[in-house]
Amino acid sequence: MALDIIIGAQWGDEGKGRMVDLLAKDATIVARFSGGDNAGHTVTVGETVFKLHLIPSGIVHPHTVGVLGNGTVINPETLLGEMDKLKDMGISVTPKRLKISPAAHLITPAHRALDAAEEAQRGDEQIGTTLRGIGPAYMDKTARRGLRIGEMLDEESLADRVKEHVAFANKKLTSLYNAEPLDAQAVAAQFVGYARKLKPYIADTSRMIYQALKDGKRVLAEGAQGTLLDLDHGTYPFVTSSNPTAPGALIGLGVGPTYVGEIVGVTKAFQTRVGEGELPTELDGDLALRLRGTGSNPWDEYGTTTGRPRRVGWLDLVLLRYTARLNGLTKLALTKLDILTGIDPLMICTAYKKDGEMFQEMPMGMLTLEGFEPVFEELPGWTEDVQGARTWDDLSLNAQGYIRFIEEQVGVPVGWASVGAEREQMVVI
């Protein structure tokens, strides 16, 4: 069988968790390949809402094994906290159910302190990071001084390495940012404690995935964040510090391209973005409130990780064409179609305009979105409740028309449309 990759086709928060939940039914392994606890994946099973940040969403299926691949960055405190929470909810994350690559990098309190200090120093130019220490951890990785999970296998040298790491970070914190230094000894002791708990989870995940694929099993790569937050291909500098795109899954898991099967791009039926940076189709006022929700429901547009209200806008097909091409998407999954019910007409961005010239795709990739004006087409809305729809024929003509329009414009078929937060509220097309 194949490695199927689930990718965020926007700026994150597309509903990847629920798609992974759906597709994990016949997968053996569900693997995170990039990012860390900056992600927030929500899975609703009956009355229970699972909010996961680090552990792959597939964990809610007892038959799957979760993997945190070499491309991820792991804060052991969050990971252990998440394990405890899941345990309270009846899911025991034993070393049989979760495997961590020794090459994944560690996030420490020093990384978090640096993230906060760097953001504060940026003043008006803030990126709006999740303050989880993601950027500084990847900076240490590329500077080749990062701490890796595999170092937890030797407690003594781990303690020394953590002390060195904190001492180095303290220099930056105090001299560059005028921030408080951390207690290196205390952090080292903390990490030795984490190592004792996490050691049994460390495994050669790349080989494990290879073997599963060789044995004809299905492996799901669970994307975090989204294509437009990709370090190389996103809206730099308002991006994350990893590659949450399909090729990133191969690097971040240590799997060759031969095994790739479906590449599913998950997109909401409208646009959202947290943090700073351009959002060409941004809405405000009543319509924005309508799309965002008030925050009273777990699926309203408020960050799972930070609680920040998300910015919202009309669906942007210029960006979706770009993400389809970049990831080589074979299918689209459209989420939150039900939120559009009752909005008439629906606007959808099909091109950008700048200095009198029209663009179907950005002329220089995502170099800058500044100054590009969205060009909209108007589509008729629908008033029929779609939440009970399960098949194509259950959808009203105008809801079908909205989906077909997206397929034609982007050139990728829509395989699913979610029509509510519950697991079964899904139209399979």
Paired with 50 in beta bridges are 43
> Does 13 participate in catalysis according to the annotation?
yes
Residue 240 in the binding site for ligand IMP (CB under 6 A): yes
Choices 70-78, 130-138, 384-392, 395-403; region in contact with ligand IMP by CB under 6 A: 130-138
* Distance in angstroms (rounded) separating the CA atoms of residues 335 and 410: 16
Which residue from 335, 373, 352, 346 is spatially nearest to 287, judged by alpha carbons? Answer: 346
- Distance separating alpha carbons of residues 296 and 419, to the nearest angstrom: 18
Determine the Cα–Cα distance for residues 333 and 319; give it in Å rounded to an integer. 15
Which of 4, 13, 115, 230 is flagged as catalytic?
A: 13
Min dist CB 251 to ligand IMP, Å, is 17
Q: Is 135 in the site for ligand IMP (CB under 6 A)?
A: yes
Which of the following is catalytic: 4, 21, 37, 41? 41
Residue type, 98: L
CB atoms within 10 A of CB 237: 11
Strand, helix or coil at 263?
strand
**CA dihedral of 200, 204, 206, 207, whole degrees rounded to 10:** -120
Q: CB of residue 233 vs ligand IMP: minimum separation in angstroms?
A: 14
Q: Which of residues 274-333 bind ligand IMP (CB under 6 A)?
A: 274-275
Q: Which of 13, 82, 140, 230 binds ligand IMP (CB under 6 A)?
A: 13
Written as one string, the DSSP assignment of 8-33 is ESSSS-SSHHHHHHHHGGG-SEEEE-
Task: Report the run of H or E that residue 78 belongs to, with start and end.
Answer: helix 76-88
Half-sphere CA count of 242, side-chain side, radius 13 A: 36
Should residue 12 be labelled a site residue for ligand IMP when binding is judged by CB under 6 A? yes
**Nearest to ligand IMP of 76, 234 (CB atom):** 234
For ligand IMP, the binding residue among 18, 132, 161, 311 (CB under 6 A) is: 132
Q: How far is the CB of 369 from ligand IMP (least distance, A)?
A: 14
> Which residues lie closer than 8 Å to 147 by C-beta, 6 or more apart?
105, 106, 108, 140, 158, 161, 162, 165
CB of 107 to ligand IMP, least distance (A): 11
Answer whether 148's CB lies under 8 Å from 102's CB: yes
Number of residues interacting with ligand IMP: please give it, by CB under 6 A. 21
Task: For the CB of residue 158, give the shortest distance to ligand IMP in the complex, in Å.
Answer: 25
Least distance from C-beta 300 to ligand IMP, angstroms?
15
Q: Which stretch binds ligand IMP (CB under 6 A): 157-165, 202-210, 222-230, 358-366?
A: 222-230
| Residue, CB closest to ligand IMP | 275
Question: Which of 39, 253, 326, 421 forms a contact with ligand IMP (CB under 6 A)?
Answer: 39
366 belongs to the binding site for ligand IMP (CB under 6 A): no
Binding to ligand IMP by residue 74, rule CB under 6 A?
Answer: no
Residue ranges binding ligand IMP (CB under 6 A):
11-13, 38-40, 127-130, 132, 134-135, 224-225, 229, 238, 240-241, 274-275
Catalytic residues: 13, 41
